[in-house]
Structure formats: C-alpha cells, structure tokens
Amino acid sequence: MTPLFDPIQVGDLELPNRIVMAPLTRNRAVAGLKPGALQVEYYRQRASAGLIISEATQISPMGQGYLDTPGIYDSAQVAAWKQVTDAVHAVGGRIFVQLWHVGRISHSSLLPDAAAPVSSTDRRPNVQTFAAEGFVDVSAPRALRDEEIPALIEDYRHAARCAREAGFDGVEVHAANNYLLEQFLRDSVNDRTGPYGGSIFNRARLVVEIMQAIAAEIGAGRTGIRISPMTTFNDTARDSDPQALFEHLVARLDPLGLAYVHVIQGETGGPRYPDDAERPFDYAALKACFDGPWMLNNGYGPEDAPQALAAGEADLIAFGRPFISNPDLVRRLREGAPLTPPNPETFYGGGAEGYTDYPTLDADGAVES
C-alpha cells in the first residue's frame, strides 16, 4: 500500500486518501453560467478522490475570461451548485470550489457592457481566449484603481460565502497561471506604484488581503490557495526573483492556518523544472515556509506520486488529466489497473462525450464497455 491511500487531516476536513482531483476547466456551463445535470454526474463519478477541487469558477461577472465557464456569485448559481455538492456528498465525497478572476485574460464580449478587462496593468498579453465567435485575441485591459480594490476583495468574500451556501466544503483561491492575482504578484506584469505595486510586500498585499477576508468569512480551515511560481502560461514572464516573492507570500499566509497550499511545479502542463530558468526554483525551501498540508501538481502519475509523498516533498498530489478519462482513478491507482487516455478534442465545450461517458472498472477489475 502506497502513501497515496493514507488518510490526512486537511484543515477542517479528514480526507480518506491523498489523491486530489485538480481543477479542470471544461467549458460546459449552461445558461446563467451555472452547472447543469452533466456537471452533477461528472463530479459524482469522481467523488472517490480524497478531495475534488472544482473547475475554475468566476467570483463575479467581471471575472469571466472564457465562454461557458460557471460562476458562484448569484442565487441561481448557488442553487445549481448545490445539486453538485449534494451529489458528491451523497456518495461520501468532499469538494472545494476554485475561486477565479482572470484579470487581463479576457475579451470584452464576455464582460458586462462590453467592459475592458481589469488587471494590475493596462498592458495586453499576446494571448487568445475562447469567446462566442471562437478563439480571439484578448482585449486591452485597464489597470484597477486603488480605490476599486476593496470592492474586488468583497467579491472574493461574497463568492466564498456563496460557496458555503452551495454546500461546498471549502474554497481554493486561484492565484496561479497568471490570472488576476498573479498579475498583481509578478513584477513582470505589475507596473503599479502605491500600496499594491513596487516592492514584494506591496505586490503580495492583494493576495494576502483576499485570503484574510475569506478566512474570516468561512474559516481558514476551509480555505486553500493555488500558486504557480515558475509558469510562463498566458504569455507572462516570470518574476525577477520568484524564490523571494513566493517564499514571502507563503510565509505571510502561514499564520492564517490555511487548509493547504497547492503548487503547480514548473511550467503548467510542461516540465516541472524548466531548463530555461536562470536558476532552479527551490520547492523544498518554499514548502518550509508553510506548516500545513502541501499539495503538488503537474503531470504526476502512479509511480512518481507515491515517491513524492514518501520523500516528504508533498502531503497531497493533485491529478488533472487522469481524472478526466478515469472517473474511478482512485480505484485504478489502488489496484494498479491501466489508465484510459483522455481525448483532447473533447476537453473544452460539448456535451457528455469525453465528459461523463468514460468507462470504469467492473466488479472483476475489467474496463466496462
């Protein structure tokens, strides 16, 4: 038996195993940017994970960056998500929602009154997003004014409150992959002056204030955060000193007593230790800044996931794509069964195909047709 199946206390929750379903954007929200019947079945199928982290879910209408991604800010969305959480809990699962604001990775056609996306800066990245007309260049953003920051923090607090009303066991704040919060963290993007720009302390201020607000609203033991210190995803250069920046951030968050820190190692969907970095990132040193459960993510499989746990590099491992095509991933890992490969053509948008129709093992351990 590998460490993957050891129970662990994560904040206010006791998890039966250390296998986490990573957040996976699938672009299948229904009218009103709500989850529908497909999402109820999709998450229910995967509830054997020690913890499910939902697809990225916007905290407000201004937080949306892609077509058909769900929100968690109005009563209809809360009611729809309640059907998902009830289904997960009915089969013994646990589920957090990932709270998301894309910042400058958006298009005006997705935003209220065709507004410009908001960010720490008015500089537009050279990247595309998915809108009603297909893939389009993101729109030029505008820099948030300092006096708008309290309302943004309140949006996060409100979304966390909605999440608990919807029956989620907690929330994960998406501060990774160069969406809004990382646009404030990195000096490669944040060109502000004033209280939210310049020094590492100031650039980390927004994330710290958001985490403090959410922890005060729903409890630190039901609040996690996801970070990605070295990724260049979304056409964003690394910070000039990512080691100092992220050690500072994690050390400032540690006294809150958060449920966990979730780290994407290296390039999102790429190498864990990019060879184009000026110097390797020391993930062990980052982990030493936090006393709570430590979750790693990026391409882990049946062999290296248990090794990372046994070596003390992580307390939890988040699996992404394997959960897309293996709803019974926990059983397959436990039994050493082969994994079904996913079909990338059905990752984003569509219906049940490539979403809720992947096979599971039958009672004898054979793949059901």
Just list the catalytic residues.
179
SS3 287: helix
- Look at residues 208, 200, 181, 287 and name the one whose alpha carbon lies nearest to residue 239: 200
Dig out the tokens for 134 from the structure.
Answer: 């297909």
Q: Which two tokens stand for residue 339?
A: 């994994």
Alpha-carbon torsion 340, 344, 346, 349, what sign?
positive
Structural contact between residues 31 and 330, judged by C-beta atoms closer than 8 angstroms: no
For residue 328, give the amino acid letter.
D
28 vs 143: CA distance, rounded Å: 30
Determine the Cα–Cα distance for residues 288 and 214; give it in Å rounded to an integer.
Answer: 24
Residue 343: which residues within 8 A CB-CB, separation 6 or more? Answer: 325, 354
Residue with tokens 């943004």: 152
For every residue of 29-82, DSSP letters joined together read -BTTTB--HHHHHHHHHTTTSSEEEEEEEESSGGG--STT--B-SSHHHHHHHH
Can you tell me the distance from the alpha carbon of 118 to that of 59, in angstroms, rounded to the nearest whole number? 14
User: How far lies 65's CA from each of 130, 133, 138, in Å?
Assistant: 8, 14, 9
For residue 156 the two structure tokens come to 């996060």
Contact 101, 58 (CB under 8 A): yes
- Residue 136 and residue 128: Cα distance in Å, rounded? 5
Q: Which residue has the tokens 């006393």?
A: 291
Where in the chain does DSSP place strands (E)? 8-10, 13-15, 19-21, 51-58, 95-100, 118-119, 128-131, 134-137, 142-143, 170-174, 223-227, 260-264, 294-297, 316-319
